[in-house]
Amino acid sequence: MKFTAQQIAGILEGDVVGNPDIEVSKLSKIEEGFEGSLTFLANPKYTPHIYSTKASITIVNKSFVPESTIKTTLIKVDDAYLAFSKILEYYNAVKYNKIGIETPSFISDSAKYGENIYIGAFSYIGDHVVLGDNVKIFPNVYIGDHVTIGDNSILFAGSKIYSDCIIGNNCVLNSGAIIGADGFGFAPNDDGSYSKIPQTGNVILEDNVDIGAATTIDRATLGSTIIRKGVKLDNQIQIGHNVEVGKNTVIAAQSGIAGSSKIGKNCQIGGQVGIAGHITIGNNVRIQAQSGIARNVKDNEVLQGSPALTLTGYNKSYVHFKNLPIIVKDINDLEKKVNGNS
């Protein structure tokens, strides 16, 4: 789909400087711009590229004044970065605006769905499933019995939702995400073997939740594993049974949260963080990458290390750790002097 500079300026409430009728159909980086592409300039260090870019249209701040001749048509806006983000959202909305039911696919006779849905080929929709308006289900998606999915949610190819789970409005599940698999529940027997504990609960994703590719969220043993409104989970994250993740918390890739732990709202958790089971993390907590959390954490703490220390404590300790060989040598030398004088 092609858009003119004038059409894009209308979407962004910007002003065109140059040819209002020039068309673009692709997006590009400013340093890699090509004819027919749209780019943007927000970071001053990329300013030299605007004089050489081959992009047909460039979004810039209203404060930008060219210092020499430029070939690209400009669209001037209040904030070029936010404006380009808006265009990316619009581009995705157009790109993924598929409607209809492809074949072959299986849809149970008892399933219900709203308007403007898309169900891709080889998808499976189980008994008593309820799909809201504008739901997009890409090929090879599995949706188990009694699942509810809210309006405008998108399930990308290969994602799986087990029975009884609830997905809110405006959620995104990327490829390979698994929602509602059995929690890791086993009871040890006297002979050293293990018996499986039935996992009878479900998973609830509230509105505006994003789930990364290959991320798994286990169903609760009893009750629900709950991912609150606005949570953003990166790729390859493991969320255990009966975990609760608070509103607007973000978690980076390869992190793991063991069963029954509670994470507060507005937390920022780095990559490869491990959180033990049955603990509580407060609100507004920040945890640095590769940290290990095995204790309750109060609101607003900033942690690093394994086992995690406060960030200030970790940094102070790390200074001494780097100097450990020198410190050990000094202690040994001191012992020799003491022993020699005794």
Query: By three-state DSSP, how is residue 226 classified?
Result: strand
DSSP state of 322: H
- Helices 80-95/5-12 angle, 10° precision: 110
Instruction: Evaluate whether 213 touches 237 at the Cβ level (below 8 Å).
Output: no
Residue-level length of the chain: 342
**DSSP E strands: which ranges in 282-325?**
286-287, 292-293, 302-304, 309-310
Element (H, E) at 89: helix 80-95
Instruction: Evaluate whether 270 touches 252 at the Cβ level (below 8 Å).
Output: yes
Distances 141 to 62, 190, 192, 297, 302 between C-alpha atoms, Å: 45, 41, 38, 38, 39
Cα diameter, the chain: 93
278: annotated active-site residue: no
Q: Nearest Cα to 79, choosing from 64, 67, 94? A: 64
Instruction: Evaluate whether 122 touches 104 at the Cβ level (below 8 Å).
Output: yes
Which of the residues 128, 146, 241, 320 is marked catalytic? 241
Long-range contacts of 292-298 (CB under 8 A, 24+ apart): none
Q: Which residues are catalytic?
A: 241
